[in-house]
Chain A
Amino acid sequence: MKPEKPLRISRLIYSGLIFLSLAVVGTAIWRTSARQTKSAGIPQEVGKERFYQQLRKGVGSEIRFAGARSSRAEIKNSVDSVANFIYQRSSLNMGDETRQQFESAEQSVLSGRRARLSLDQLSDTFVEIMVDRLANLSDDEAEKAINTFRATPNGEVTSRASAKWGFMTRGELTKQVAAARQWSQRGDQSLKVVLRQMMTEEVRERVTYLSAALPEQFGRINAEGVTPLQALLIGYSVVTDDPLSDSQEDLNAQMAQQRMLAYRTREQAGYSGKAYGPNGDLFSTPAQLFFDKAAVHKLLESAEGGQK
């Protein structure tokens, strides 16, 4: 008897390719979206509305962005809310210096002294961060990154929680990362073109659902661009593949249910106790590689480059 899963659909392509957040470059691509909807057994519209509700409970309730008339204290609170949101979900910690930089950058943009980053600029910045990081990835970092992905029942890994970019073995991924590093070091334009396409897709996807579910917080980003803090949040979401949905309480309940089912003890290695990020209970990615001080500094630089 064959189980319905693991989601293995017809492979459309196999080819070296990307990855973004995570050392992943290269991958097999399957068209899984239709399969996911089918396997979930719920009409897409119903599923979408449910997802929007989960977004409102997550990023919609737990983050407060400041506005044009906000005080410094309110801007500081908004930075703290984003930092806390990310930390609680992924164990990625915003340092004090970074907090101050974001407070300053956010204030500049909200007061109109700096322009918002367009979505194209945001995607370009993410590509630059990836290419730079890949070019400087050590063998040890690459190995750790690859091992951070949790294996599927078939022993393969996937860089996206939805597996929309497909699966590959750790051996295949190792080769792809090595190739990507080589291309990055050479400054290969083809790699950037492919990464740009993937990054644009990732950013556009998030912008689409965030603006639809939370128009007050994200409704204007399609037309006006993003503030530094919004850019950080989208970058975090892309790197960790955290959809930003569900409150921390909901995530805790989901993780508790998984632990109980798996009879997992607290001492068991490979699980951080957080939902996302490195060794995330729900989905694990080597996010720390692409979400570090250097990456955030580059993001802030791009934001500051948006002269009025």
Chain B
Amino acid sequence: MRLRTKLLLLLVLCYVSFNGHCIVNSIDPCINHCCIGAGQPFGLFTVIYADGSPNFVGRYDANGRGIYDKSSLTHSCDFTRIVQGTVGNNSLSASPSSIDLLSPPSSGTITGQGMWATNGMPRVDYFQSNGYFIGSVSATSAASDGTWIVAPQPDLSSVYSGFYQLKVTYPTEEGFYINEVGSASIDCWNRDNPDSDGDGWNDVDDCYPYDASRWYCNQGGGCEYQTYREEMPCYEY
């Protein structure tokens, strides 16, 4: 079939396919992630291959649809079974809740409820307020009634001043950290995000971190600053 004929055929098929459909243009997370059927909304789960690995951890969305990422393109989304975790939105308290980054304490205590150590010590995950992961630590001791845990501080040497979220999970019988307890927040201080030229824009957000007269990448051409996020150069139009 000649190219021109193919294209015309395609055109007709396009028209037949789309005509009359009102497609709401929204992102379906299942396009770029693996998805499974119903589960408890917002709960964590893990899917397990027949050989026991890898164990993909995902989360159910508001509609109870499970979304997860596989760790390697050599694997498909297929799995042999699902283990569902419990959902916990408890408000926990961290102590200390304010941390001097120049002399951080070696450990901290988190109090609340439901921090069970039956299948192993609970884990504390640290996140920036915008969701970036900082590090995880395992509790070193826990109350038998689940009301407190003590855990070492993660490496905070590259952390800047600001609020951080701590999320506590405890393991299932098989050791998957998908039972969520809740979260606490801490206020870290004494190491501000550098603003080398003092123009009010942190270096990481400043196209010209050493030129106080410019910060936006369209102020005089391209963006000098590409050391931190090389994937985000300045695209000017």
A residues lining the B interface (CB < 8 Å) = 1-7, 12-13, 15-17, 29, 31, 33, 36, 39-42, 44, 47-48, 51, 91-96, 98, 150-155, 158, 161-164, 190-191, 193-194, 197-198, 201, 205-206, 208-209, 241, 243, 245, 252, 255-267, 269-274, 277-279, 282-283, 287-288, 291-293, 295-296
Contact = CB atoms under 8 A, between A and B. Distances in A.
A44 B127 CA distance: 36
Nearest to A5: B35
A7 B34 CA distance: 9
Given A5-B34, A245-B26, A33 B21 contact: yes
Given A39-B30, A259-B132, A4 B78 contact: no
Given A2-B78, A5-B36, A162-B26, A261 B58 contact: yes
Contact of B216 (A93, A150, A263): A93
Interface string B1-25: 0011011111101110110011111
Interface string B201-234: 0000000000000001111000000001111101
Contacts of A98: 237
Contacts of A36: 23, 28
A41 B25 contact: no
Interface stretch (B63-71, B113-121, B137-145): B63-71
A163 B180 CA distance: 33
A250 B49 CA distance: 35
Contact of A272 (B10, B32, B216, B232): B232
B77 A153 contact: yes
Interface in B151-185: 167
A52 B6 CA distance: 38
A58 to B, nearest CB: 12
Contacts of B32: 150-153, 283
A209 B31 contact: no
A190 B24 contact: no
A4 B23 contact: no
Given A95-B237, A158-B31, A190-B3, A15 B130 contact: no
A38 B67 CA distance: 16
Interface residues of B, number: 69
A151 B26 contact: no
Contacts of A12: 13, 17
Nearest to B27: A161
Nearest to B234: A93
Contacts of B67: 261
Given A17-B10, A93-B217, A245-B26, A1 B31 contact: no
Interface string B80-100: 110000000000000000000
A29 B230 CA distance: 34
Given A1-B81, A13-B13, A266-B128, A153 B26 contact: no
Contacts of A96: 218-219
Contact of B25 (A151, A153, A243, A272): A243
B236 interface: yes
Contact of B76 (A33, A42, A153, A265): A153
A266 B218 contact: no
A26 B9 CA distance: 14
Contacts, number: 221
A278 to B, nearest CB: 7
A77 B131 CA distance: 32
A7 B11 contact: no
A266 B27 contact: no
A162 B26 CA distance: 6
B35 A197 contact: no
A91 B7 contact: no
Contacts of B130: 252, 255-256, 259
A259 B131 CA distance: 5
A98 B218 CA distance: 10
B133 A155 contact: no
B14 A153 contact: no
Contact of A91 (B25, B34, B80, B232): B232
7 tightest CB-CB pairs across the interface, nearest first? Answer: A256-B131, A259-B131, A5-B35, A288-B235, A5-B30, A190-B7, A161-B27
Contacts of A3: 34-37, 47, 77-79
A31 B78 CA distance: 23
A255 B73 CA distance: 23
Residue of B36, B128, B217, B235 most packed against chain A (CB within 10 A) = B235
Residue of B30, B37, B129 most packed against chain A (CB within 10 A) = B30
Nearest to B231: A279
Contacts of A158: 31
Given A243-B26, A274-B232, A94 B218 contact: yes
Contact of B131 (A201, A255, A291): A255
27 contacts: A3-B35, A4-B65, A6-B30, A6-B31, A6-B77, A15-B6, A16-B6, A16-B7, A41-B65, A91-B232, A95-B236, A98-B237, A153-B76, A154-B77, A161-B26, A161-B31, A162-B23, A197-B15, A259-B131, A259-B133, A260-B127, A261-B58, A271-B231, A272-B232, A279-B232, A288-B235, A295-B237
